[in-house]
Chain A
Amino acid sequence: MNGYDFIFAGTELTMLPSGALWWGQARTLCVSDLHLGKSERIARRGGTMLPPYETHDTLARLALDIERCAAATVICLGDSFDDLEASENLDDADALLLSRLMAGRRWVWIEGNHDPGPVEFGGTHLAELHAPPLTFRHIARPGAAGEISGHYHPKARVSLRGRRLSRPCLLHDSDRVILPAYGTYTGGLRADDAALARLMRAEAVAVLVGGVPRAIPMPRR
């Protein structure tokens, strides 16, 4: 696997090029901020009609990761659906694809701010999951340790001899990991934003995904 391996809370984790986190020892795949049904929600609320393919695209990429890792557990780290109604309005084909992915493995939905209640698809629905030495929750909590979270959609920029590259990234230090958004229609918050700078230790690292994952020092202002 073309991943980036690192040790966190004494256990080995791998950041995959797709933006998913693989915890090999527990055969667990973790993804954050899928925002399924985003285009439907925007149109429902009177916005524009974006190309309605992002839910399929997100699920298809997730299917590939699950298959490659042969994951026994999948943790969706919150904001899995753009809102609760979007989970009910999922296209039949997409709903079927999701059910197939869930079949035969443990599936945990962590609550996010976009999807704060249970969804009609099965699986376990939790505010947070403690799986020592790790804790999975949607929004990072100051002072926590061994914490895996999402929510912020971090992205980082690098200058390469005159051209600039901006990619989603994972942030990690000795206390926490913040995952990039996995959903196709997701933007990003620059990693040098004050909100992230406050959360992360000075020696934090950003791992750029989208291509082969590459680590750089977390950008600061």
Chain B
Amino acid sequence: MTILPALFHDWFAARGWQPHPHQLGMLSRASEPALMLIAPTGGGKTLAGFLPSLVDLAENPGVGLHTLYISPLKALAADMKRNLMTPIADMGLDIRVEDRSGDTTQTRKKAQRADPPHILLTTPESLALLLSYEDAPRIFAGLKRVVVDELHALAESKRGDQLMLCLTRLTALCPGLARVGLSATVEDPPALAQYFAPHPSPCAILTADPGPDPDIAMLTTDTPPPWSGGGAAYAIPEVLDQVRAHKTTLIFHNTRAQAEIFFHNLWLANEDALPIGIHHGSLSREARARVEQAMVEGRLKAIVCTGSLDLGLDWGDVDLVIQVGAPKNVKRLVQRIGRANHRYNAPSKALLLPANRWEIIECHAAIEAALAHDLDGDPRGPGPRDVLCQHILATACSGPFNADALFSQVTGAGAYAALTRADFDACLAFAATGGYALKAYDRWQRLMQRTDGLWQLRDPRQAQRIRMNMGTIIDTDTLKVRMRGAGRKPLGEVEESFAASLTQGDTFLMGGKIVRFESLREMEVQVSLDRGRKPKVAVFMGTKFSTSTQLSARILELLHRNPLPPLPDHTRDWIHLQKSVSQLPRVGRILLESFPHEGRAHSCIYGFAGKNAMQTLGLLVTRRMEEAGHGPLGFVATDYATLIWSLEPIADPVAMLDPTGLRDGLEGWLAENALMKRTFKNTATIAGLIERNLPGKRTTGRQATFSSDILYDTLRKYDPDHLMLQITRDEAMQGLIGFARIEDMLARTRGRIDHVHLDQVTPFAAPLFLEVGKVPVDGAGAEALLAAEADRLMAEAGLA
């Protein structure tokens, strides 16, 4: 205990605490230029990150910014301030701590720029803004440490990429700056360290004792789960029993819509009126804050939630986590389980509740993986170029820059280490002139090169406009939902397309209440309370995850185990029946079942590539079937399989699943796809081609604005190789379209297809018939539908 100064030692002792070994480890390695701590939830991670700063400031009090703390959540930064104030006050330290986010007042923000505190707690977006000011060098002068919290979460999104670019800039401003990353358990610590490191220098890793293994099991129920769907309504009584038996239970769901339905069902059955709340990203900030507060005060027995509670502080006394639906991803499951029992050295308790038969197998495989510490994750590709475009514009806002210097700075971020100069120059050209094949903006370019070679804004007034549009979080088009009557706080948000589909009297679920749609006024959905009707389901975007590749492989392996693992009897019978009627899908091969049903030919392809990829596979195969004259009529996809129905059966499966030429066949269809257009909109917004906010103007003047789809179509027509389209294609292939996974699957199984002909529906294919989200393949197209609908409407109105 030599490293800890007496003052701190006494403070720990006075509270009856022992510093954790990793907290002392962080202190003794405080001089490392880059250090990443991996510790489980509840391991005193944040204090470990701050301890070296507090010790240094206690011994060397100075003026100016000493430590910058960055968290993905605004609320976390604010809470951290309260948590830090306790030791600072107890030890009588002269340390100023302030937080800064979008919610901080303008006056406060100005004061912080003029006279920065010792410790500033902020978000990636607020840091990017601070760095875009001309006085950034002065604000950050003397900065010694930067602490990034929840690094594992940030690294999964463009917010992380933006932050890493900002860190390269900070490092250039403050040579000798030490980086500290705090992360939950991840599958590949060296990869995360490389992402965080000031390339080419490495980042050291300190791993805390992971603590005891979690106590994790399947929630057994009297009623077997249904064959398909994601509601898990069948298990409500058992879930209520668990809630009763524990202090506080977190009930995680994969989507917001499922959380709303489950919450609704839970309350219908909640005869004891147990205090149960709901928390998800579409609820208003006020509604979420109320639930969080009630949770901290221990007033809630359970919270039905989504990923919105994946991050955050130790809220209340959570002693059980229930995961409803397959976890899709083992790493996320492990991190969620960590939410239960935030005490170090006590096992977290978790129950998995599968929503359907397939999910029983997936849950079982996930529990095995979690106990084997076999985490999964898709490696992230190179740093996205739209984020780089924004970074270049932000850099220009802070003052003239040298392109060579910026290039070498940017390649200091792990994700951009392999960026070529040509790619960088393309982003610079885009930021400067739009990067069009047609040189149209020589007069009005955004950035111009001066005679001394430096780049600067053509018009310095543009800085404000650029700053207003910074950030990488793209809101989907959502509308606020508000109770009718003036002055009411919003309940939450729904997607614009959902709002447009409502007619007066429609009911839907919002924050557990059934509300009745009244009107759409000034871009707000006005509702009133409705009692006792069966509601429609609001469509919330949320995140839709695909089952990870690693977990899919475990499921395939599990199916072939002899004897089968201890699954419920009904599930074992189901697997045995599939094996005797058809066969079980195998690793490295694709199983294709062909059978007739209700007069149509059906083909079920077991690819286990995740829902996005299986959906795209459905589109590609039906396209080939159309060309081959098989008359495809529709398909439906899950994480595991795609079921296609058609007039004629597939004759040559090898040709249907031949990877060569698949990408070409994709191009035409893909370009028209709504997913591509959505990806383009996000990319163009981040890169600064589309402005979300305009100074002194509200962007609701619908007549003046036009759809980003028009820009997309125009670029495709006149400038198909434009940077924005390149980025869009790359991203869609990876993300929503899942094409990378299809190519991977087809390359892995190349030609090894087990084609089984049967005369009836197979046990594994049966649940697919019940899946929602069937995609019709219409050769006829929207025009025919429109013609019929137009005639009907005219006739109805007596105008035809």
Contact residues of A with B, CB < 8 Å? 39-40, 43-44, 46-54, 56-57, 91, 152-153, 157-161, 163-165, 184-190, 203, 205, 208, 211-212, 214-217
On whether the beta carbons of A187 and B785 are closer than 8 Å, the reply is no
On whether the beta carbons of B718 and A56 are closer than 8 Å, the reply is yes
List the A side residues contacting B785 at CB < 8 Å: 160-161
**With the chains together, A112 CA to B707 CA distance in Å?**
23
From A52, A186, A208, give the contact of B436 (CB < 8 A).
Answer: A52
Q: Is B705 in the interface zone, CB < 8 Å from A?
A: yes
CB distance from B720 to the nearest CB of A (A): 11
Q: Is B445 in the interface zone, CB < 8 Å from A?
A: yes
**With the chains together, A184 CA to B714 CA distance in Å?**
8
List the B side residues contacting A57 at CB < 8 Å: 714, 717-718
CB distance from A191 to the nearest CB of B (A): 12
**With the chains together, A158 CA to B782 CA distance in Å?**
11
CB-based nearest A residue for B718: A53
Given contacts A51-B434, A160-B789, A189-B702, contact A184 B710 (CB under 8 A): yes
Q: Is B440 in the interface zone, CB < 8 Å from A?
A: yes
**With the chains together, A159 CA to B445 CA distance in Å?**
42
From A54, A189, A203, give the contact of B714 (CB < 8 A).
Answer: A54
Which of B73-81, B624-632, B790-798 contacts its partner? Answer: B790-798
On whether the beta carbons of A211 and B783 are closer than 8 Å, the reply is yes
On whether the beta carbons of B714 and A216 are closer than 8 Å, the reply is no
How many residues on the B side are at the interface (Cβ–Cβ under 8 A)?
Answer: 47
**With the chains together, A44 CA to B501 CA distance in Å?**
39
CB-based nearest A residue for B690: A48
CB-based nearest B residue for A189: B703
List the B side residues contacting A40 at CB < 8 Å: 440, 444
Contact residues of B with A, CB < 8 Å? 433-434, 436, 438, 440-441, 443-446, 459, 461-462, 465, 497, 500-501, 688-691, 694, 702-707, 710-711, 714-715, 717-719, 722, 782-783, 785-787, 789-790, 793-794, 797, 799
22 A-B pairs, CB-CB below 8 angstroms? A44-B444, A49-B440, A51-B711, A52-B438, A53-B719, A54-B714, A57-B714, A57-B718, A91-B440, A158-B789, A160-B786, A160-B789, A164-B497, A165-B786, A185-B710, A185-B714, A187-B702, A187-B703, A187-B705, A203-B799, A211-B783, A212-B787
From B691, B787, B790, give the contact of A47 (CB < 8 A).
Answer: B691
On whether the beta carbons of A163 and B714 are closer than 8 Å, the reply is no
List the A side residues contacting B694 at CB < 8 Å: 47
List the B side residues contacting A214 at CB < 8 Å: 786-787, 790
CB-based nearest A residue for B781: A211
On whether the beta carbons of B440 and A52 are closer than 8 Å, the reply is yes
CB distance from B336 to the nearest CB of A (A): 34
CB distance from A2 to the nearest CB of B (A): 11
Given contacts A39-B440, A157-B500, A187-B706, contact A53 B717 (CB under 8 A): yes
From A43, A48, A160, A215, give the contact of B688 (CB < 8 A).
Answer: A48
**With the chains together, A203 CA to B794 CA distance in Å?**
11
On whether the beta carbons of A51 and B782 are closer than 8 Å, the reply is no
From B443, B689, B786, B793, give the contact of A50 (CB < 8 A).
Answer: B689
From B462, B703, B782, give the contact of A163 (CB < 8 A).
Answer: B782
From B704, B718, B783, B797, give the contact of A51 (CB < 8 A).
Answer: B718
CB distance from A153 to the nearest CB of B (A): 5
8 new A-B contacts at CB < 8 Å, known A40-B440, A187-B706 = A40-B444, A49-B446, A153-B703, A163-B782, A165-B782, A186-B706, A188-B703, A205-B799
**With the chains together, A46 CA to B696 CA distance in Å?**
14
Closest 5 CB pairs of A and B: A49-B434, A52-B440, A187-B706, A43-B444, A53-B718
On whether the beta carbons of B710 and A217 are closer than 8 Å, the reply is no
CB distance from A82 to the nearest CB of B (A): 11
From B433, B691, B794, give the contact of A217 (CB < 8 A).
Answer: B794
**With the chains together, A158 CA to B792 CA distance in Å?**
12
On whether the beta carbons of B715 and A51 are closer than 8 Å, the reply is yes
List the B side residues contacting A203 at CB < 8 Å: 799
**With the chains together, A199 CA to B782 CA distance in Å?**
31
List the B side residues contacting A39 at CB < 8 Å: 440
Given contacts A53-B719, A159-B501, contact A46 B461 (CB under 8 A): yes
Interface centre among A43, A157, A163, A212 (most CB of B within 10 A): A43
On whether the beta carbons of A49 and B706 are closer than 8 Å, the reply is no
On whether the beta carbons of A52 and B501 are closer than 8 Å, the reply is no
**With the chains together, A91 CA to B442 CA distance in Å?**
12
On whether the beta carbons of A215 and B434 are closer than 8 Å, the reply is no
List the A side residues contacting B438 at CB < 8 Å: 52-53
**With the chains together, A51 CA to B500 CA distance in Å?**
30
**With the chains together, A161 CA to B793 CA distance in Å?**
13
CB-based nearest A residue for B439: A52
**With the chains together, A216 CA to B796 CA distance in Å?**
10
On whether the beta carbons of A51 and B705 are closer than 8 Å, the reply is no
Given contacts A212-B783, A216-B793, A217-B794, contact A52 B703 (CB under 8 A): no
